[in-house]
Structure 1
Amino acid sequence: MEAYHGSHSEGDGDYYRPLGGTIEVGERSYETVVREFKEELGLDSTIDTYITCLENIYTVDHEQTHEIVQLYAVSFKDAFSYNNEEYQLIDENDSVASWIPIETVLLGARTVYPDGIREALRTFLGK
């Protein structure tokens, strides 16, 4: 998950979002995920399975935003890629990606976006 700090719909503080980005013209959503992992982490990944689509309408700084999130289970190609607890994002100086235990997300112990991600993960995992 990419870690953020600041204002969000549940207040101020830390919050997290899955890694990803904008789909480019002519690109499939699963191709975007693989490309974004490479661009943001410098790591090769593979798509394990499609989880679901989440549509999210929210407001940030009094401006309404609309996103469609294609959620995938992803694996790194090289086992050594799992050794770090945190990764500095390549294209952003002060941003990091962190491992968050799935149970922590499911229990709501961390603020995670987009809306609906907890329910989607519970369904996917059969919990």
Structure 2
Amino acid sequence: MKKGVIRPLVICLFRNNNSILVAEGYDTVSKEYFYRPIGGGIEYGELSSDALVREIQEEIKTSITNLEYLGTIENIFTYNGEIGHEVVMVYDATFVDSSLYKTSIFEGEEDDGTLFKLLWKPVSDFQNGKLRLVPEKLLGFF
């Protein structure tokens, strides 16, 4: 997150029955866990759909298909005490490797080598406030 910069992102609501695939995050200032669908930054001159395919390949070493654009969210938020601003393109897609739908927890890897945990979480856990989904406006897609 760069201070004073609006960041273009793309994320995907991979669905598995009544669950979605999310990465678990932790805010060290608020001391709260949150969950976010995977994806990443859109590079200059890159279509959001191409960025999503690239990010999924880089982060979890797998291919996706059946991309469907769902909408865009403008997200202004606070993370670790800093204000962030992003424009998020939201997609639905399908993993080519169907075994990922049977794996309840697995790892992804950021560009810098940082590992993160991926989990299938019931949409109802976000709708009833048990877990926090970010960006919060994603709840409008269900």
Superposition TM-score tier, normalisation by shorter sequence: 0.7 to 0.9
Distance 1:93 1:59, change over 3 A: closer
Structure 1: give runs of 5+ residues left out of the alignment.
123-127
CA contact (8 A) 2:25 2:35 kept: yes
The answer to which structure has the higher strand fraction is 2
2:56 corresponds to: 37
The number of equivalent residue pairs is 119
Write the mapping of 1:18-97 to structure 2, written as runs, cut at 5 A.
Answer: 18-91=37-110, 92-97=113-118
CA contact (8 A) 1:34 1:47 kept: no
CA contact (8 A) 1:30 1:47 kept: no
- Compute the RMSD of aligned alpha carbons: 1.8
Q: What CA deviation, in whole Å up to 9, does each residue of 1:1-54 have, x standing for no partner? A: 11112347xx42221111111101221111111111111111111243111100
Q: Secondary structure at the match of 2:39?
A: coil
Structure 2: give runs of 5+ residues left out of the alignment.
1-21
Equivalents in 2 of 1:112, 1:101: separation in Å? Answer: 11
Aligned residues: percent identity? 28
Q: Which portions of structure 1, spanning 4 or more consecutive aligned residues, are displaced by more than 4 angstroms? A: none
Distance 1:80 1:61, change over 3 A: closer
Q: What CA deviation, in whole Å up to 9, does each residue of 1:57-108 have, x standing for no partner? A: 1233443221011111121012122121112113344411111122222222
